[in-house]
Amino acid sequence: MKAEKLSQERLLALQDLDSSLMQLEHKANNLPLSKLLDEKRLEFASARDLAVAASTERSDIKHELSKSELDVEQVLSRIEKDEKRLASGLGTPKELEQTQHELESLNKRRAELEDIELEVMVRLEGLDSRIAELSKRRDELSIEVDAITKDRDQALEQISQAVSATRSDRDALVKDIEAELLSLYEKIRSTSDGLAAVRLSDGKCQGCHLTMSAAELTRINALAIDELVRCEECRRILIRIT
């Protein structure tokens, strides 16, 4: 194919723009901030789930505490009843003795139940402080996630602006490149890792880094400047610009 020197130079400029676009895309897809954001989001979700689980556990313990308080109240009311009966002195000595025994076992039961109630209250307090810690951690992480999201969006916006500027330069440039040459360029680019037009410098294809033989170099150098040269190895367009 023939292509005048200026068109070949434009092809190199186009390649630079396309390489920039590829780098920008790679940068956008591999932002360290995005990775950090993913990690923080996971941490936040975990803290949030733990806080929810602790709150659920708290409801269960509250329920346990109510039941425990009710048990104590019931024993207390039976104790009160027995004490009144004893104080009234009514009943046979045997009945009074029985009441006395019952009162002793009720007081023992009351002590046991109060111990249980205390143990539940201690657990509830421990859980309350755990919920407070988890909620604090969750809220801190939420703030961190928001801040990182903002920074990430800003970084993406900057890349997006660079992409727009590069694309508009590209649009302007391709208007001046012959359709046939452009279509060859695009065809090679789609099969050669995005690199279609490369320099021939130091006797090397700058695409595949193959060093040309002396004979090949002599042949290429003898070609008219508007003769489009392709690398024998990678088939990329070789631009002879010194």
The string over 165-175, giving b where at least 16 C-beta atoms fall within 10 Å of a residue's C-beta and e elsewhere, is ebeebbeebee
3 binds Zn ion (CB under 5 A): no
229 binds Zn ion (CB under 5 A): no
Smallest distance from Zn ion to CB 15, Å = 14
233 binds Zn ion (CB under 5 A): yes
Size of the site for Zn ion (CB under 5 A): 6
Smallest distance from Zn ion to CB 223, Å = 16
234 binds Zn ion (CB under 5 A): yes
Residue spans of alpha helices (H) in the chain: 5-29, 32-88, 93-174, 179-191, 214-222
Distance of CA 113 to the CA centre of its chain: 49
Smallest distance from Zn ion to CB 156, Å = 35
When binding is defined by CB under 5 A, the residue of 177, 231, 237, 239 that contacts Zn ion is: 231
Smallest distance from Zn ion to CB 234, Å = 3
205 binds Zn ion (CB under 5 A): yes
241: phi then psi, degrees, rounded to nearest 5: -125, 130
Contact region for Zn ion (CB under 5 A) — 105-113, 115-123, 174-182, 197-205? Answer: 197-205
Smallest distance from Zn ion to CB 188, Å = 11
Q: Toward Zn ion, which CB reaches closer, 103 or 217?
A: 217
What is the maximum alpha-carbon separation in the chain?
136
208 binds Zn ion (CB under 5 A): yes
207 binds Zn ion (CB under 5 A): yes
Please give the structure tokens belonging to residue 185: 């360029």
Q: Toward Zn ion, which CB reaches closer, 181 or 234?
A: 234
37: phi then psi, degrees, rounded to nearest 5: -60, -45
Smallest distance from Zn ion to CB 214, Å = 17
Q: Would you call 197 exposed, middle or buried from its count of C-beta atoms within 10 A (0-12, 13-18, 19+)?
A: buried
Please give the structure tokens belonging to residue 216: 């090949």
User: 10 Å Cβ neighbour count for 217?
Assistant: 14
Q: Toward Zn ion, which CB reaches closer, 90 or 241?
A: 241
Q: How far apart are CA 203 and CA 77, in angstroms?
A: 105
Q: Are 211 and 178 in contact (CB under 8 A)?
A: no
Angle at 123 between CA 117 and CA 126, to 5 degrees: 145
Tokens 């090949």 found at: 216
Q: Toward Zn ion, which CB reaches closer, 166 or 192?
A: 192
Contact region for Zn ion (CB under 5 A) — 37-45, 50-58, 163-171, 234-242? Answer: 234-242
Smallest distance from Zn ion to CB 238, Å = 7
Question: Which residues contribute to the site for Zn ion (CB under 5 A)?
Answer: 205, 207-208, 231, 233-234
